[in-house]
Structures are given as structure tokens and as C-alpha cells.
Structure 1
Amino acid sequence: MAWSPVRAATAPQAPEVDTRGLPALAPGWAERNPLREVPLAQAIGRQAYHQACARCHGVEADGSRAPAPDLRRIGKACQRLQDLSWRERCLSDSDHFFVQSVRFGKKKFDIEHMPAWDGVLSPQVVWSIRSFIENAPKP
């Protein structure tokens, strides 16, 4: 059998978390994280993150499992913006980038660097993971 640079990827598995205590979300994907200020979402996000993401991104989303990036940096610069409308726009853009990355994965030169989680993770779980990451200790 010839060697191939493309590694065999296992299909993403949904984490086992209970989201029943979270507020109901509108169908589809919101432009901004609707669970950003929900403490339960952060706890559920931590559980889901550890089951689905930590293997590649590190236990605290710090990128310590390189080459996966430090997820805590997504949107970090938004907090420095003084103008609230610019800060909100920045957070919305960061949320969009995060959701697109999770849903559709990352592929470069036909090599999968991150699997697509669309259809595996619900919006509640993705937004909960985002909430956990946003509240993880920053570098």
C-alpha cells in the first residue's frame, strides 16, 4: 500500500451533554452568540469542549496541542474597542468566524485540518462551546 499524506480522519462524534436547562433558540444560526451571558452555557460548553475539541485544541482552548490554534484569541481584540457599536460588530464577526469554522471545518490543499461538525453539533452546543472559550483564562 502506498503512503499518502492524507490521514484517515474519524467521523466527529457528538458530545454527551444535557442542554435542557438552556434557553430555547430560534431555528437556524444566530448572528451573535445568544448564550454569551448564560452561566449554564459556559458549564455545558466546557463539558462539550472537553469531549469534542480538547484533543486538538488543548484542555483550556490554548492551542497547547499544536498545530491547532489558541481559540481564546478569537474576538479577544474586540474587548479593547471603546465604541460599543464597533465592539458589537467585532463580536458578531468573531462569532460568525467561529461558527463557520466549526460547522464546515478547515481544509487546506485538500488536507483536512479540522473536521466539519455541521449536523453533529447543535447550535446550542456550538454557542455553549463558544461561551466556554470566551470565558477561559486569557494568555
Structure 2
Amino acid sequence: MGVSFALFAGATATQVMGHGPVTPQPVDTSKLPDIKPDNDTWLTHNPYRGNPDAIKIGEFAYGQNCARCHGLEAISGGIAPDLRYLELGDTGDEWFVQRYHHGSARDGKVYMPPMGEILGQKAGWAIRAWLETKHTDE
């Protein structure tokens, strides 16, 4: 009986300790203005930079969809790039949207799935707006 309980407790602890489900979680972007000319034309600069609603939405979206690999509060534990060091402004935006929209794969292995079609551009730019509040050069 002791061994069975130990196995059950170990299995349960593993499930509870994870950062969340593997399936991308939807993001409510209804409070954000539409992207011009339309939400399907991908931009290379963040239209929500400094927008308080976008920053709040981005923080939630990051926690639900990005933290499991890029780290809580954007502090990477080494699994994926630490996004606090991503360049600010348009230069960082270009790299971010490329990875967010298309993902990253090397030698046939997916390192980051493409999130753009799943979560949408508005959610991506909200995440980027929040990430800029976490930026550090240190």
C-alpha cells in the first residue's frame, strides 16, 4: 500500500508542478484597437508599444503561452532565449514577430511552434508590449 501511494503522489505532484497545459491558451484582445490596414496584414513594428491595456493583456498571454519555455516574468531558465534581452524598438520587433509568427526549427526539430496563426497578431504585439516593460541590459 505504501508503494502505491508513493507512486500516486509522485505522479500527481508532476501534474500540479507544471507551468500549464501544452495547448496554446486563447487570448482576449477585444479591448485592443484593430491593426491597420487589417488584423491579417503582419506588421514589423509594435502598434501597441506603451499601451496600458496591451501590456496587461500581454502579461496574461505570456504567462499562459510563453512562460513554460521562456520563464516566469520572462526570466529564462535556459530552455529558450531570455526575452528580457531582446532589443527595444523596431529592431527587436522584427525579430520578435518573425519568431512569434513563424516559430523556430533546426534540423527538423521544432524549438518554438508558430504562434501567429494560433493566437493572432494582436496577442503577439500585446506580449511584445509587456516584454518591453521587462527589458534589461544587464
Common fold, TM-score beyond 0.5?
yes
The amino acid that maps onto 2:120 is S
Is residue 72 from structure 1 mapped to residue 70 from structure 2 by the alignment? no
Q: For residue 74 of structure 1, report the CA deviation from its aligned partner.
A: 0.8
* Secondary structure, aligned partner of 1:20: coil
Residues 13 and 120 in structure 1, CA contact (< 8 A), matched pair in contact too: no
Could you tell me how far 1:107 is from its partner in structure 2? 0.8
Higher helix share: 2
- Once the two structures are TM-superposed, the CA of residue 119 in structure 1 deviates from its matched residue by 1.1
Divergent runs of 4+, >6 A? none
2:52 is aligned to 39
Given the alignment, which residue of 26, 29, 37 partners 1:16? 26
Shifted more, 15-24 versus 126-135: the winner is: 15-24
Judge conservation of contact 1:45–1:130 (CA < 8 Å) in 2.
yes
Separation in 2, partners of 1:93, 1:136: 17
Flag structure 1 segments of 5+ consecutive residues without an equivalent: 1-11, 77-90
- Partner-residue secondary structure (3-state), 1:19: coil
Amino acid in the other structure paired with 1:110: G
Q: How does 1:97-136 map to 2 (within 5 A)?
A: 97-136=95-134
Task: Choose between structure 1 and 2 for higher RCO, CA contacts under 8 A separated by at least 6 residues.
Answer: 1
What number of residue pairs does the alignment pair up? 113
RMSD: 1.6
Q: Deviation of residue 114 (structure 1)?
A: 0.9
Q: TM-score scaled to structure 1, two decimals?
A: 0.74
Same amino acid, percent of matched pairs: 36
Matches within 5 A, 1:87-102: 91-102=89-100
TM-score by length of 2: 0.75
1:59 corresponds to 2:87 = no
- Asked if 2 retains the 8 angstrom alpha-carbon contact of 1:62 and 1:69, the reply is no
Aligned-pair CA distance for 1:63? 1.1
Contact residue 74 and residue 134 of structure 2 kept, 8 A: yes
